[in-house]
Homo-oligomer: A and B are copies of this chain.
């Protein structure tokens, strides 16, 4: 009886996260900075306590929650769509960047830089209704495979960031994605993959037209940019969609710098983090000179201001859910 009582006591004395809430993080400064921040803002009576309603956390997606090499996954989607739509577009055979793409020469197709990418994205992300687009993305994401890992793209998510999202939500945080990626592309899988509902996914967007088709209302995706959610666009989008300043922000590139600055400039306790891609073996290593996810100015500012820089190689025991723990 005494033993039973002792057991009951132990059970109730355990905090909410009795086990390590971040098992895929190595013990070290990065992990400690996260745990310390959470403890400070959630402890009732602490001078840095933050009420639940104001516990807003924002995360970039590409390179922060899932991988982004050898190119952004949404571009892989667009390239697959060009191939799928080619029979309806005989004119693409003689028109760049489509002609090179259809010959299988992605490099030549993308040599046209941003205007070429813009053409590919617009040709594959407009002209259908929002419901149709959602269906197309869902089918693609369920079947398409990453060129190097030969796994579904949604398997290339970072296990340590998963754990961080869950840890934050268990502490009454609302977790948002604030990404340069397409808002409707991400929403098609973010709830299932990250547990982040569509209304907490913010991204770049095209314009839409409301129409009645045979009396039934539809929203048609137009071939016109509405908003680019990158760099200065990120704090603008945070203000527009969330309407209050996050207390935690995580990114991995210069595109996230302004979001981190905006988060840092609020009163009280703040957490700013960068994922630094330093693992050639399990993932990729790139920063100042990469064309995808360049991390240069933000790395300098993080060092200067003491933001948390997470080295994937040193700070993460496991990167992808399918990795063995080290």
A216-B265 contact in complex given A199-B241, A240-B183, A244-B198, C-beta closer than 8 Å: yes
Cβ-neighbour of A217 out of B199, B226, B243, B261 (below 8 A): B261
Q: Which residue of B lies closest to A238 (CB)?
A: B219
Cβ-neighbour of A236 out of B219, B236, B239 (below 8 A): B219
Each complex incorporates copies of this chain amounting to 2
**Within A222-261, which residues are at the interface with B (CB < 8 Å)?**
226, 232, 235-236, 239-244, 258, 261
A183-B236 contact in complex given A53-B191, A191-B53, A261-B217, C-beta closer than 8 Å: no
Cβ–Cβ < 8 Å partners of A187 in chain B: 243
Q: Which residue of B lies closest to A260 (CB)?
A: B217
Q: Are B184 and A208 in contact (CB under 8 A)?
A: no
Cβ–Cβ < 8 Å partners of A217 in chain B: 235, 258, 261-262, 265
Q: Which residue of B lies closest to A197 (CB)?
A: B53
Instruction: Say whether A201 faces chain B, with CB atoms less than 8 Å apart.
Output: yes
**Within A100-150, which residues are at the interface with B (CB < 8 Å)?**
130
A239-B53 contact in complex given A258-B210, A258-B217, A265-B217, C-beta closer than 8 Å: no
Q: What CA separation (Å) do A114 and B25 show in the bound complex?
A: 58
Q: Which residue of B lies closest to A130 (CB)?
A: B239
Cβ–Cβ < 8 Å partners of A317 in chain B: none
Instruction: Say whether A174 faces chain B, with CB atoms less than 8 Å apart.
Output: yes
Q: What CA separation (Å) do A94 and B129 show in the bound complex?
A: 50
Q: What CA separation (Å) do A245 and B139 show in the bound complex?
A: 20
Q: Which residue of B lies closest to A54 (CB)?
A: B197
Q: Are A205 and B53 in contact (CB under 8 A)?
A: no
Q: What CA separation (Å) do A240 and B279 show in the bound complex?
A: 36
Cβ–Cβ < 8 Å partners of A184 in chain B: 243
Q: Are A198 and B242 in contact (CB under 8 A)?
A: yes
Q: Which residue of B lies closest to A237 (CB)?
A: B208
In the assembled complex, the CB of A50 is this many whole angstroms from the nearest CB of chain B, namely 14
**Within A32-72, which residues are at the interface with B (CB < 8 Å)?**
53, 56
Cβ-neighbour of A243 out of B56, B174, B198 (below 8 A): B198
Q: Which residue of B lies closest to A265 (CB)?
A: B217
In the assembled complex, the CB of A160 is this many whole angstroms from the nearest CB of chain B, namely 25
Cβ–Cβ < 8 Å partners of A242 in chain B: 198-199
Interface residues of A (CB under 8 A from B): 53, 56, 130, 174, 183-184, 187, 191, 197-201, 205, 208-210, 212, 216-217, 219, 226, 232, 235-236, 239-244, 258, 261-262, 265
Closest 10 pairs (CB-CB, A-B): A198-B243, A210-B232, A199-B242, A187-B243, A217-B261, A208-B236, A217-B265, A217-B262, A210-B235, A198-B244
A-B CB contact pairs (8 Å), 19 listed: A56-B199, A130-B239, A174-B199, A183-B240, A183-B243, A197-B243, A198-B244, A199-B199, A199-B241, A199-B244, A205-B240, A208-B236, A208-B240, A209-B236, A210-B236, A210-B258, A219-B235, A219-B236, A219-B239
Q: A197-B244, A216-B265 are in contact. List 6 more A-B contacts (CB 8 A).
A: A183-B243, A201-B243, A208-B240, A210-B258, A212-B261, A217-B265
